[in-house]
Chains A and B, each alone.
Chain A
Amino acid sequence: MAIIPQQHMNIIVCIKQVPNTTDVRIDPATNTLIRDGVESVINPFDTYAIEEAARLKERCGGKVTAITMGPPQAENALKEAISLGCDEGILVSDRKFAGSDTWATSYTLAAAIRKIADFDVILCGKQASDGDTAQVGPGISAHLNIPQVTYVKKIVEISAGAAKVERMTEEGYDIVETPLPCLFTVVKEINTPRLPSFKGMMRAKYAKLLKWTADDIEADPAALGLDGSPTRVVKIFTPEARKGGEILSGATDDVSKELVELLKDLVI
């Protein structure tokens, strides 16, 4: 990464606490999700955003602020972010946020970021592992009216007012230049996140988190939570679980022939 040294970057990382999918199991009797004892973790994609923020800070100097909207226990995610290199954590939490869809969530986070005021780069994971929408990152940049580059796999250059990045596409990647401030959503390929350091863990333990409510971020109450969400969930159901099928057995050549025969309508 080509960096012009000795400058100050204000970096914001947006994170989300999600249930650990490895723990998600279906109760075969009721066909519903078993949530008991499911551990909450930082959304896997956000860990790459945190790492990239920490790296930008190490190279340019500056400050990294982690921000999350969620229930009080989302504090743990912020503390973990601090142990991984963030300097500050802001928990945006209010009963008024309950039922937020991606519109209201990005509105709320954008309002909180406006209160932070001074920022050069906003980093988000490309999507969260529970909702999988990939809509909140672009939503925040739209609310803030700043440019965005999604699916960033490399920050090639970054200087005081501009950055050059690689955006992953279905066929390869685009090289994109953007002025700052800009919002980037990042993919896994961008880095390998570090483990928390002992120093980081100590810092996290004593870190004082900022807690902001709807009033603190001067949000329009009509734009918050379920009331501020254009979409409504009307039904939730468990899809029919896929069942294992037929096991083919026999000598290699025989099973190969059998399988090719079974698949002949799919393979033309």
Chain B
Amino acid sequence: MASIAISLDKCTGCSLCVKACPFGAIHMANKKAVIDMAKCTLCGACVTACKFMAIELKKDSAPKKDLSGYKDVWVFCEQKKGVIQSISFELLGEGRKLADKLGVKLCAVILGSGIESKAAELSERGADKIYLVDHPALKSYQDDPYTEVIVNLAEEYKPEIILCGATTIGRSLISRVAIRINAGLTADCTGLDIDPTERLLLQTRPAFGGNIMATIITPNHRPQMATVRHKVMQEAAVDKSRKAELIIKRYPEEVFKSRTKLLEIVEEISETVNLSEADIIVAGGRGLGGKEGFEMIGKLAKVLGGAVGATRGAVDADWIPYSHQVGQTGKTVCPKLYIACGVSGQIQHLIGMQSSKVIVAINKDPEAPIFKVATYGIVGDIFDIVPALTKEFTRSLKK
């Protein structure tokens, strides 16, 4: 069993470890560090911080498995209604870099019905090899058949890395796959790299709503699996001259069985684009004062070709549906441009949008916390400024 212990001889009571612990699990008692095991997660941050080698973390001594049979970087390419989702191209862009560092092939995996013609798109985006499974049961995402197919593919071809979008589908699917094939899975990564000596995937992700970052590895299990946040990685460029090897896999009918049955797909977001895919988001908060305020926000979003976001306050007041909510209990977004109108900037909202590339804040209160994260701030009345901006953008975009 793994354990952590402080050597009282070596501990000088400097309390560096107390500061280093992200979980608040260490305190000083009689000038020595004491670890509260109820809070400790054995992350090892204190071990690195201690200058006196006074903390010993014993990890499992399981013999190192032979992992050499696993190779290639796989990208699960999500399709909806036969359209490959943009997250897949972002993953192919990132997967290319990882595959090159490892000196292996980049493989795209796509499941669907009547999708053979889609293979060309994936080779243009840099895939060396494409695993394609075509069956009516795979037309739209369903947990059981998708899990079963990916498990079968991974067991047969043994990839060393599988990347998947941190989307509704991706997170539901790959979490199940990870359990089935006994693999390590890291959620919602914003940074990926390779440790070349150990061939390890270095997975960096935010936790505590982005207040801390953690780098995670999977030392002794393969494949190493990660879901990746939308809009963080660069899309792979299109190269029409590329030709990938296409492997069309067929499986017996039982692989495609589903216990759940998808009865209907309802699309609600017609007037705006999908929040997590949007490059530009115009968001409104309590400062909008009512439903009408969102009409004004919608106009600006439309001019910019962006989506409409909202704070929890505005959603709870029924001014706009929950599907627009950004923040801790809503969506985490990372667009190129986030324009926050009448948003005060409570921590729960900031958690969901602070990794946006450029943030613009418009608020009448100069002390509003949103200004602390804003690239550009305007202190003033949103009812003057937002329409003026809409007009100005309309004018400049017509040019």
Instruction: Tell which of B185, B210, B373 touches A231, judged by Cβ atoms closer than 8 Å.
Output: B185
Contacts of B215 in A (CB 8 A): 233-237
A176-B261, A267-B280 are contacts. A148–B172 as well, Cβ < 8 Å? yes
Q: Which of B69-77, B247-255, B286-294, B376-384 contacts A (4 or more CB under 8 A)?
A: B376-384
Contacts of B147 in A (CB 8 A): 142
Is there contact, CB below 8 Å, between B178 and A139?
yes
Is there contact, CB below 8 Å, between A253 and B38?
no
Closest to A232 in B: B217
B233 at the interface (CB under 8 A from A): no
Contacts of A232 in B (CB 8 A): 59, 216-219
Is there contact, CB below 8 Å, between A173 and B268?
yes
A106 at the interface (CB under 8 A from B): yes
Report the count of interface residues on A (CB-CB < 8 A). 99
A225-B1, A231-B218, A263-B358 are contacts. A24–B213 as well, Cβ < 8 Å? no
Instruction: Tell which of B42, B184, B208, B216 touches A98, judged by Cβ atoms closer than 8 Å.
Output: B42
Q: Tell me the chain A residues, 6-63 only, with Cβ under 8 Å from chain B.
A: 19, 21-22, 24, 26-27, 30, 32-33, 35-36, 38, 44-45
Q: How many angstroms from the CA of A228 to the CA of B336 in the assembled complex?
A: 39
Is there contact, CB below 8 Å, between B206 and A233?
no
Of A172, A176, A232, A249, most buried by chain B (CB within 10 Å of CB) is A232
Chain A nearest CB from B206 CB (Å) reads 7
Contacts of A33 in B (CB 8 A): 22, 24, 208, 211-212
Q: Which of A114-122, A163-171, A203-211 contacts B (4 or more CB under 8 A)?
A: A163-171
Closest to A266 in B: B337
Q: How many angstroms from the CA of A259 to the CA of B384 in the assembled complex?
A: 14
Is there contact, CB below 8 Å, between B263 and A164?
yes
Q: How many angstroms from the CA of A107 to the CA of B178 in the assembled complex?
A: 12
Chain A nearest CB from B224 CB (Å) reads 9
Is there contact, CB below 8 Å, between B1 and A168?
no
Chain B, 150-168, contact with A by CB distance < 8 Å: what is the 0/1 string? Answer: 0000000000000000011
Closest to A187 in B: B322
Is there contact, CB below 8 Å, between A139 and B19?
no
Is there contact, CB below 8 Å, between B176 and A148?
yes
Q: How many angstroms from the CA of A188 to the CA of B316 in the assembled complex?
A: 11
Q: How many angstroms from the CA of A141 to the CA of B266 in the assembled complex?
A: 25
Contacts of A45 in B (CB 8 A): 329
A99-B2, A142-B179, A259-B378 are contacts. A169–B168 as well, Cβ < 8 Å? yes
Is there contact, CB below 8 Å, between B216 and A103?
no
A213 at the interface (CB under 8 A from B): no
Chain B nearest CB from A51 CB (Å) reads 14
Of A102, A188, A234, A246, most buried by chain B (CB within 10 Å of CB) is A234
Is there contact, CB below 8 Å, between A188 and B322?
yes
Is there contact, CB below 8 Å, between A24 and B211?
yes
Is there contact, CB below 8 Å, between A233 and B329?
no
Contacts of A44 in B (CB 8 A): 328-329
Count of A-B residue pairs with CB < 8 Å: 313
Judged by DSSP, the binding face of B is mixed
Is there contact, CB below 8 Å, between A147 and B259?
yes
Is there contact, CB below 8 Å, between A71 and B38?
yes
Q: How many angstroms from the CA of A171 to the CA of B180 in the assembled complex?
A: 29
Closest to B399 in A: A264
Q: How many angstroms from the CA of A237 to the CA of B43 in the assembled complex?
A: 12
Q: Tell me the chain B residues, 318-359 only, with Cβ under 8 Å from chain A.
A: 322-323, 325, 328-330, 332, 336-337, 346-348, 351, 354, 357-359
Contacts of A27 in B (CB 8 A): 19
Contacts of A4 in B (CB 8 A): none
Chain A nearest CB from B66 CB (Å) reads 16
Is there contact, CB below 8 Å, between B38 and A267?
no
Of B179, B216, B392, most buried by chain A (CB within 10 Å of CB) is B179
Contacts of A150 in B (CB 8 A): 143, 168, 171-172
Contacts of B185 in A (CB 8 A): 102-103, 135, 230-231
Q: How many angstroms from the CA of A231 to the CA of B183 in the assembled complex?
A: 9
Contacts of B38 in A (CB 8 A): 71-73
Closest to A253 in B: B388
Instruction: Tell which of B23, B216, B261, B376 touches A248, judged by Cβ atoms closer than 8 Å.
Output: B376
Closest to B172 in A: A150
Is there contact, CB below 8 Å, between A102 and B212?
no
Of A30, A98, A171, A246, most buried by chain B (CB within 10 Å of CB) is A171
Is there contact, CB below 8 Å, between A21 and B266?
no
Chain A nearest CB from B267 CB (Å) reads 4
Contacts of B392 in A (CB 8 A): 253, 256-257, 259-260
Is there contact, CB below 8 Å, between B22 and A242?
no
Q: Which of B121-129, B131-139, B269-277 contacts A (4 or more CB under 8 A)?
A: B269-277
Is there contact, CB below 8 Å, between B389 and A259?
yes
Is there contact, CB below 8 Å, between A245 and B376?
yes
B39 at the interface (CB under 8 A from A): yes
Contacts of A26 in B (CB 8 A): 211
Instruction: Tell which of B44, B175, B260, B267 touches A171, judged by Cβ atoms closer than 8 Å.
Output: B267
Chain A nearest CB from B101 CB (Å) reads 18
Chain A nearest CB from B64 CB (Å) reads 14
Q: Tell me the chain B residues, 104-147 only, with Cβ under 8 Å from chain A.
A: 140, 143-144, 147
A95 at the interface (CB under 8 A from B): yes
A-B contact pairs, 6 of them (CB 8 A): A27-B19, A38-B24, A98-B41, A101-B184, A129-B328, A232-B218
New contact pairs (16) apart from A188-B329, A234-B216, CB-CB < 8 Å = A21-B348, A24-B208, A24-B347, A32-B22, A102-B185, A103-B182, A147-B259, A170-B275, A171-B269, A172-B266, A226-B2, A232-B218, A234-B44, A235-B45, A237-B214, A267-B280
